[in-house]
Amino acid sequence: MSKTVVKVASLILMVVSFIAYIAGVSAFPIASENLLPWSVWFIISVVVNIIVWSSVMKLLTFSLAVIWFYAFVAGLVPESSTAINLTSLDWSDPESVAEQGAAIFNGKGQCSACHTVDPSAPKGRCPDLTDIGANAANRQPGLDAKTYLIESLYEPANYLVPGYGKIMPEIWKAPIALSKLEIEAVIAYLQSQGGEIDPTPYDEPIDRADPGTVAAALPPLLTGDPALGKKVFVSAACISCHAVKGIESPAAGEGSQDFEVVTAPDLSEIAAFNDMRYLEESILKPGAQIVSGYGAVTVKANGATFQGTLVSQDTEQIVVRTKKASGEEEEHTILLTELDEEPIEELANLKANGYFTLTLTPADADASVSGEIVEETEDSVTLKVGDGTQTLSKTDVKTLLTIVNFDGDEIVGSVVSGTLDDDELVLNVDGSEEVIDTFDIEDSVFTRAFGKKLLVTSPMPENFPLLLSVSDLSNLLAFLSTLTGAAATAEATPADATETSAE
Amino acid sequence: MRQHQQTRLDIRGVACRFKKPLLLLVPLILLILLQTLAPAVAQDMSEAEYRPFPKIGSRNAAWIAAQLHLLFGSFILGVPMFAVIIEFIGWKTKDARYDRMAQEFIKLCMGAFSTTALLGGVLVFILIWCYPKVMSKLSGIFGPTMIFYVVLFFGETFTLYLYSYGWDKMQGRHKGWHLFLGVLLNVFGTAIMFVSNSWLTYQTSPGTQYGKLSDTTRQSWLESKLAQNPGMTQTEAMEGITDATVIPLHNETTGEFLATVWEAVNNFTWMPVNIHRLIGNIAFGGSIVAAYAAFRFLVAKTKEDRAHYDWMGYTGNFIALCGLIPLPFAGYWLGREIYMFNNTMGINMMGSLFSWLFIIQAVMIGVLFIGANYYLWSGMGRIDGAQIYARYRPYMIAIIVICVAIWMTPRTLSKISTSSELSAMGGANHPHLGLFGLMTAKNTAVNIIILTTFLSFLFYRRSGKSPTASWKKVGNIAISSIFFFSAVSIVVIGIVGFTVPTDLRVNVLTPYQVLIALVVMVAVTIIDIFMYRKATMSGTIKWGEMTDRSQYVLILLAITFTSLMGLMGYARSGLREAWHIFGVMQDTSPDAFTPLLSEAVNIVAIIMVIFFALVGFIFWLGLWGEKKKQQAVPTEMEEAD
């Protein structure tokens, strides 16, 4: 009888403790003290059941114990929840907002999958964010800490930390899809890492209704004074190249001597057709987007060098406008086939350097291969040869050595034996071998390939943003944001009227 | 009088024979009705985006119903596969034991089949009620495949009836036709699984490679891209697009479906999931049958029954092992495809939200391999002459345990270490053991475990046999060399994997490791078969003399397989995060978040309890029917007399 009671009691205890453990019920209280957690009750009941019951019930006990064991093990490992339901942020307590941000950083936002906040951690997929709250202010000239963080979270490809690739997804898009409140909380958390939490609201630099775009027309990130910005526009010599209705261009010699005066786009209506993101980027990274017809180019064709502005370009020809010393402008139409092949010393970043065709000789071949560059990787380049394509290694190529001796003679050939450090060097020049005394060499250049090059750059100095203070930049942006055309007209009209009446 | 009684018996037999199919038709009809009406019903209810399910919530309700349906589905797909193989072996070897066992498997299937259909119906009902918009969207895309699914279901149902009820009739010269029915049953079953897989894989990866798209879809996609990006030229839109580029099958702004039904079916993860599930079903079905045999073994009253169920348990476990060994390879392929579809999803899976889930997975797979090996070693105890292999056992145990430990090593310890521990380690990784947390170490460990398990099986196969082939010495040297050099190669490749870029490791080194393991298994099996072709028996297998402990291992394996399926179901669905269709249809319900791992495993535990309770009930029904049949036969005989 007593055995039956034990059997039934242990069976009931096992079922109850299993259910209680799975349901997460708090431990059974006796005299207001928690006696033992349900997991312990369950283990005790399992042991008793296995001892007192016969085969079938033993089997059931064993099965339930295995199921429980896996649930128990899963309860031991660390876990992250994506169950975030932010409806508002309590900015009266910035620390609590930062805590919510930390939960998102480690959970739904999945930031911690790649970023560490631990200087001792080994280098991860993405930069360590220790003290990012303070360091963010120094990452990009002209961007304060919060603005930099906003930019980095919404458009992560904009400012890459050197040494890290473009792997961070846009977290406001699928699959992470953080809401604005969630991103605000993450920014607060990041600012709390060595910096001050800035509760100032901001406008998102995206249009959530249109996932296809990133930078919609938005108010400037930096607020400035348009009147002061107008002065910056003149003093920083922008006016030397860019025309704006209502501002007189200084006479030659009056502007800054730091810049060559070139033709640049008219900015009178720039804000009417471009969002502030574009303007900001054009100042911070002048070469990021070049307006058609205003790019600077230097090309070599038929032995002559043309340096000027790229007026137009299509698949067959380019038009380059050059300016003579007398100031007279001249346009040259050059077929792409007429461009000269230029020697290439290093086969790295060919496309980024403007090369669109390539001629090289593979190390194991006699004849050279020539064609349009279709694709380029770090180690290889794919050329369009005839109707097909051919992928060639960048490392296994025959290298030509061009030597200029002290007499001024130039010898070009492939190295047969020896190096420049030896006393003698044997070159294969047009099929015959020539022995070169290395003491006679005045200059030498290794050429790994030849290619046609068309590199369009911005005539605006790359270091332009470094010449401006943060306040200059914000004032300049504020001024540019007023150049909608309509405003210029509206401003111009009363002035004109006054002048007319004065007359 | 005797004739009258005979007629009565015949009528009773016929009535009994048709009662079960009619009962089975009830859930089937329900399912067909629901699936046929689903789009229309969903259309009518499309005003409501979500409806709550009382008490447990919509997600939990759908989760439990879907997982139970899938588990029963896996059982009824996996079991017929080896029932046919075993029946074929029995037919060729003229060993009636195989035929009896295959028939017993199919009897188990019959009960599970109606439960599967019923659960499918419940699932469809829950989905249509709780998620009308999602179902409307999915049925709008996959409507034709749903009709095809119903047709296949009819085919499978009636083939199963013919196969099961025709078993005794189609013996002798009709056996070939009966086997054909078995094959047809598997074709229907596999096709059904492939169709339903297309729906759920589409939810995870609604895109396919550019090279696989039709010209019409390419054009639609291009037009939608140009419409989304005013001012973009065709050349700009096509910049960087190659045949391997993943193309979404929807307009990314409006969500409008742009492709054909086939392209939606043949989405990025469809085939990897198909293969993974196909192999998984074999392993799962085998393990459930082995667990059934273990249960029958433990409650058996006679020696004959113990012998029969011992043998059935061995066969079930053998088939489960055959499925388990290639399963990690299929899983690796699936994981790789997920990375290729969406890198963020891949990182999320292995390096973020679900990274610790894979540690739990490693615990479970470790239990599976250790359990399977233990069962083989226990089995060798009932074979005379198997003792010679016992000396290798400690080394094999050590290898498997070390490899499982490597597989269970977490990559980073930041979430479970104190700051003093972190500073003592010099970072979030352990200075030495941290290396084992990398995929190259884990892949190496998996391949070595697989080879060791294969070696266990080889020893089991050889137990009690003496080869008579004249070249047995050379053969043994060859097999030993193959094992040794392949293991060394796998380890060396694993070490090299630490030093090369990820691309090279994922696309070249790991496939080489897999290839080596597969080649070893094929080559050694071929050599061993020829070497032991005319082997003399030095000892017999004493079926029925297994320990009770070994039978518990079979049950442990079945529960572990089932729990693993439940856990991976959570991972597969959870990867979508807050999306019903990834990147296309956002989950805006209150459940739009990924539950904690501990919460998920608790749900899985509840599912396990329900599943095994239902399976136990089906087994009990089988036993009950068997007992009644045994009692009825003498009574009827007495009446007839």
Q: How far is B594 from chain A (nearest CA, A)?
A: 5
Q: Determine, yes or no, domain membership for B260.
A: yes
Kindly report which listed range (A155-164, B171-180, B315-324, B566-575) carries the lowest average pLDDT score.
Answer: A155-164
Distance separating alpha carbons of residues A261 and A252, to the nearest angstrom: 9
In angstroms, what CA-CA distances link A35 with A19, A41, A343, A395?
Answer: 17, 10, 84, 72
Whether B226 contacts chain A with CB within 8 A: no
Q: Which of B499, B413, B435, B454 is nearest to B328 (CA)?
A: B454
User: What pLDDT is recorded for position B394?
Assistant: 92
CB atoms B347 and A107 under 8 Å? no
Residue-level pLDDT at B24: 52
A59 touches chain B (CB under 8 A): yes
Tokens 């939960």, residue? A103
**pLDDT digits over A389-448, tens only?**
888 888 788 888 888 877 778 888 887 777 777 788 888 887 788 888 888 888 888 888
Between CA A498 and CA A356 the distance in angstroms is: 56
What residue has token string 């599970």? B112
Cross-strand pairs, A13: none
Cα–Cα distance measured from residue A475 to residue A72, given in angstroms and rounded to the nearest whole number: 61
Query: Bridge partners of B280?
Result: none
Contact by Cβ (8 Å): B255, B585: yes
- Whether pLDDT at B565 is above 60: yes
Cα A229 to Cα A277: distance, rounded to the nearest angstrom: 17
Q: Does A210 touch chain B (CB under 8 A)?
A: yes
- The whole-angstrom distance between A206's CA and the closest CA on chain B is 14
The predicted complex's ipTM stands at 0.84
Residues of chain A found within 8 Å of residue B555, distances taken between Cβ atoms:
59, 62-63, 66
Subunit contact A63:B602, Cβ cutoff 8 A: no
Q: Give the list of residues 6+ apart from residue A502 with CB closer than 8 angstroms, or none.
A: none
Contact residues, chain B, for A68 at CB < 8 Å: 605
- On whether any CB of chain A is under 8 Å from the CB of B188, the answer is no
Mean pLDDT, range A87-95, rounded to an integer: 86
Q: State the burial class of residue A325 (Cβ atoms within 10 Å of its Cβ: 0-12, 13-18, 19+).
A: exposed
| CA–CA distance, A282 with A466 (Å, rounded to integer) | 13
Instruction: Tell me the C-alpha distance between B149 and B265, whole Å.
Output: 13
Q: Establish, for the pair of chains A and B, how many residue pairs have beta carbons separated by less than 8 Å.
A: 152
Structure confidence at residue B475 (pLDDT)? 92
DSSP state of B387: G
pLDDT (mean) for A363-387: 83
Q: How far is B240 from chain A (nearest CA, A)?
A: 9
Number of domains in chain B: 1
Q: What pLDDT does residue B412 have?
A: 67
Which of B243, B309, B352, B623 is the best residue to mutate to test the A interface, defined by the most A CB atoms within 10 Å of its own CB? B352
pLDDT mean over A103-113:
79
pLDDT band at B628, cuts 50/70/90?
A: low
Give the pLDDT mean for B364-387: 90
Tell me which fold the domain A94-191 belongs to: Cytochrome Bc1 Complex; Chain D, domain 2 (1.10.760)
Mean pLDDT of chain B: 84
Three-class DSSP category at B417: coil
Question: If DSSP codes are grouped into helix, strand and coil, which group holds residue A115?
Answer: coil
Best B368, B559, B611 residue to mutate vs chain A (most A CBs within 10 Å): B559
Which positions in chain A touch B609 (Cβ < 8 Å)? Answer: 64, 67
**What is this structure's pTM?**
0.66
The alpha-carbon gap from A380 to the nearest alpha carbon of chain B, in Å, equals 15
What is the Cα–Cα distance from A367 to A361, expressed in whole angstroms? 6
Is any Cβ of chain B less than 8 angstroms from the Cβ of A119? no
Report the residue from B351, B593, B608 with minimal CB separation from A113. B351
Lowest mean pLDDT of A318-327, B143-152, B199-208, B269-278, name the range: A318-327
> How distant is the Cα of B113 from the closest Cα of chain A, in angstroms?
23
Mean local confidence (pLDDT), A56-80: 87
Q: Which of A19-28, A172-181, A274-283, B452-461 has the lowest mean pLDDT?
A: A274-283
Q: Which residues of B touch A174 (CB under 8 A)?
A: 579, 582-583, 586
Torsion of CA B249, B251, B256, B262, to 10 degrees: -10
Residue A212 to residue B582, Cβ atoms within 8 A = no
Give the pLDDT band of residue B400 (cuts 50, 70, 90).
very high
Taking alpha carbons only, the member of B156, B4, B166 closest to residue B80 is: B156
Q: B608 in contact with A at a CB cutoff of 8 Å?
A: yes
CB count, 10 Å around CB of A344? 20
Give the model's pLDDT for residue A494. 34
In a domain, B218, yes or no: yes
The pLDDT, as a whole number, for residue B592 is: 79
Q: What average pLDDT does the segment A352-374 reach?
A: 84
Residue B403 has a CB neighbour count (10 Å cut-off) of 24
Is any Cβ of chain B less than 8 angstroms from the Cβ of A79?
yes
- A94-191 and A226-289+460-502, same CATH topology: yes
A56: which chain B residues are within 8 Å (Cβ-Cβ)? 298-299
Q: Chain A partners of B611 at a C-beta cutoff of 8 Å?
A: none
More confident residue, B335 or A503: B335
Q: Which of A161-170, A293-302, B631-640 has the highest mean pLDDT?
A: A293-302
A82: nearest Cα among B594, B588, B577: B594
Tell me the pLDDT tens digit for each residue of B429-449: 677 777 888 888 999 999 999
Mutate which: B609, B615, B623, vs A, most A CBs within 10 A: B609
Q: Which of A477-486, B102-111, B170-179 reaches the highest mean pLDDT?
A: B170-179
* Residue B464 maps to a domain: no
* pLDDT given for residue B1 in this prediction: 42
Output DSSP code: residue A341. P
> What is the pLDDT at residue B486?
95
* Interhelix angle B175-204/B548-574, nearest 10 degrees: 40
Whether A492 contacts chain B with CB within 8 A: no
* Between B226 and B447, the higher pLDDT residue: B447
Nearest CA in chain A to B242: A375
Query: What percent of chain A is predicted at pLDDT more than 90?
Result: 9
**What pLDDT sits at residue B110?**
83
CB atoms within 10 A of CB A229: 22
| Amino acid symbol at B606 | I
Q: Determine, for residues B597 and A79 on separate chains, whether the beta-carbon distance falls below 8 Å.
A: yes
| Contact call for residues B277 and B323 (beta carbons, < 8 A) | no
Q: What is the pLDDT of residue B238?
A: 85
Domain ranges across chain A: 2-76, 94-191, 226-289+460-502, 295-339, 346-451
CATH of domain A226-289+460-502: 1.10.760.10
Q: Are A118 and B428 inside 8 Å of each other by CB?
A: yes
Kindly determine whether residue A74 and residue B556, on different chains, have CB atoms separated by under 8 Å.
no
pLDDT at B278: 93
Answer whether residue B228 is part of any domain.
yes
Which tens digits make up the pLDDT trace of B509-523? Answer: 888 999 999 999 999
pLDDT at B15 over 50: no
- Residue A78 is nearest to which of B253, B356, B604, comparing CB atoms? B356
Residue B85: C-alpha distances to residues A40, B88, B176, B308 (Å): 46, 5, 13, 18
- Judged by a CB distance cut-off of 8 A, whether residue A377 touches chain B is no
Please spell the DSSP secondary structure of B178-190, one letter per residue: HHHHHHHHHHHHH
What pLDDT does A61 receive? 94
Residues 357-386 of B with CB under 8 A from A: 359-360, 363-364
SS3 A303: coil
Collect all residues with Cβ–Cβ distance below 8 Å to B264 and sequence separation of at least 6.
B141, B142, B198, B202, B206, B249, B257
**How far apart (Å, rounded) are the C-alpha atoms in residues B587 and A83?**
13
At A259, is the pLDDT very low, low, confident or very high (cuts 50, 70, 90)? very low
| Residue of B589, B596, B614, B623 for testing the chain A interface, max A β-carbons within 10 Å | B596
- Whether residue B245 lies inside any domain: the answer is yes
Distance of CA B496 to the CA centre of its chain: 32
In the predicted structure, residue A66 carries a pLDDT above the cut 90: yes
Q: Determine whether the interchain pair B552/A55 forms a contact, defined as Cβ–Cβ distance below 8 Å.
A: no
Task: Compute the average pLDDT of residues A263-279.
Answer: 72
Distance CA A70, CA B607 (A): 13
Q: Running DSSP on this structure, what letter comes out for residue A259?
A: S
d(CA B570, CA B591): 14
Asked if A165 has any chain B CB less than 8 Å from its own CB, the reply is no
> How many Å apart are CA B167 and CA A229, to the nearest integer?
92
pLDDT at position A215 is 39
pLDDT of A174 > 70? The answer is no
Listed residue (A446, A455, A448) closest to A381, CA to CA: A448
Contact between A120 and B422 using a beta-carbon 8 Å cutoff: yes
Q: So what's the pLDDT on residue A495?
A: 31
In a domain, B302, yes or no: no
Q: How many alpha carbons lie under 13 Å from residue B167 in its C-beta half-sphere?
A: 20
Q: Which pLDDT score, from 0 to 100, does residue A90 have?
A: 87
Domain-embedded: residue B239: yes
| Chain A nearest-CA residue for B554 | A63
**Cβ neighbour number for residue A186 with a 10 Å cutoff:** 25
For residue A175, whether the previous peptide bond is cis, meaning omega lies within 30 degrees of 0, is: yes
Burial profile B108-139: b = 16 or more Cβ within 10 angstroms, e = fewer: bbbbbbbbbbbbbbbbbbbbbbbbbbbbbbbb
Cβ contact, residue pair A82, B578, below 8 Å = yes
What beta strand segments (E) does B238-368 contain? 246-248
Per-residue pLDDT band for B482 (boundaries 50, 70, 90) equals very high
Has residue B399 got a pLDDT over 80?
A: yes
Per the prediction, chain A carries an average pLDDT of 77
> Token pair of B373, please?
């090996």
CA nearest to B410 within chain A: A77
pLDDT band at B525 (very low <50, low <70, confident <90, very high): very high
Give the model's confidence band at B605: pLDDT under 50 very low, under 70 low, under 90 confident, else very high: very high
Quote the radius of gyration of chain B (alpha carbons, Å).
27
Average pLDDT over residues B485-491: 95
**Cα gap A451→B117, rounded to integer Å:** 68
Instruction: Provide the 3-class DSSP secondary structure of residue A176.
Output: coil
Residues of chain B with Cβ-Cβ distance to A211 below 8 Å are 252-253
Q: Is the pLDDT of residue B346 over 90?
A: no
Give the model's pLDDT for residue A15. Answer: 93
In this predicted structure, the answer to whether residue B357 has a pLDDT above a threshold of 90 is no
DSSP A65-107: HHHHHHHHHHHHS---------S---TTSHHHHHHHHHHHHHT
What is the residue range of B234's domain? 212-265
A307: closest CA of chain B, how far (Å): 28
Specify whether the CB–CB gap between B307 and B544 falls below 8 A.
Answer: yes
Of A112, A125, A175, the CB nearest to B345: A175
Helix (H) or strand (E) holding A391: strand A388-393
Which of A411-420, B174-183, B269-278, B434-443 bottoms out in mean pLDDT, i.e. has the lowest? Answer: A411-420
E strand map for B462-504: 465-466
pLDDT at B416 over 80: no
